[in-house]
Amino acid sequence: MKAAVIYENGGPDVLRYEDVPDPECHDGHVVVDVEAISIEGGDLLHRAGAELPSVPHVVGYLAAGTISDVGAGVEDRAVGDHVVTLNAAGSHASKRAVPALSTWPIPDGLDAARAACIPVAYGTAQECLFTAGNLQAGQAALIHAGAGGVGMAAIQLAKQAGATVISTASSDDKLERLKEFGLDHGINYASESFVDRTRELTDGRGADVILDSVGGPNLVDSIVGRVADGGLRVEIDRTFPLAEAAAAHA
């Protein structure tokens, strides 16, 4: 099969497109004929510096496609099922083998390209907002970098949960596009203070939950200037396939 592989860490120039052996279908696993992939920030970080378990190393977390083989012990997946898959490596290839537990059926009407983008972005947003942040209806959520994948997912999920959704982005055009996803209030951080604007939008109280994938000065301002009393600030660690969320009370 064809695959995108690396033999060493580095920039995009270390990527190779080569023939490699087809993956084996071990017990508890499925093999998927890949139709679409999603390139995540973690893919770039791992290519740049993560330890390679073997070479050639097939890169990539996310892929969607059709199951072509099922290993022993798998009872809830079958050949022909259309699924999206998440694993630490191996997605950027014609075929990938993954544990059946790390596959999810693709609903009818959703194409593979869209499905491949869902697990990391929406899974991360879900964990940050609700597992770590305990976001409730009627609360205010401040989502940094709303125009990114996790940001757009978080805007939709927060709106669906009945929260007031505030988000930052680097331009008015980006903020305008985010309205269709459920954005209530946009803050162009290039031209105004998101600390002051968030306070203004929440009658001086601050946001109840802040999702920050940026860090740096944002981290300091989140602690000092914007979190409501008893609110939560959720930081995203992007070094893992499903970005880990760390929550801190104000």
pLDDT of 244 reads 46
> Using an 8 Å Cβ cutoff, are 87 and 46 in contact?
no
> Using an 8 Å Cβ cutoff, are 71 and 27 in contact?
yes
Domain ranges of the chain: 2-116, 120-249
CATH T-level topology, domain 120-249: Rossmann fold (3.40.50)
Q: What is the pTM of this model?
A: 0.82
pLDDT of 228 reads 53
pLDDT of 241 reads 44
pLDDT of 212 reads 85
**Mean pLDDT of each 10-residue bin along the chain, 250 residues long:** 98 97 98 96 90 95 98 98 96 98 97 95 93 94 94 97 97 97 96 90 90 66 53 54 45
2-116: CATH homologous superfamily?
Answer: Medium-chain alcohol dehydrogenases, catalytic domain (3.90.180.10)
3-state secondary structure of 223: helix
**Gap between the Cα atoms of 57 and 191, Å rounded:** 44
- Bridge-based pairing of strands 82-86 and 103-105 is antiparallel
Contacts of 39 (CB under 8 A, 6+ apart): 60
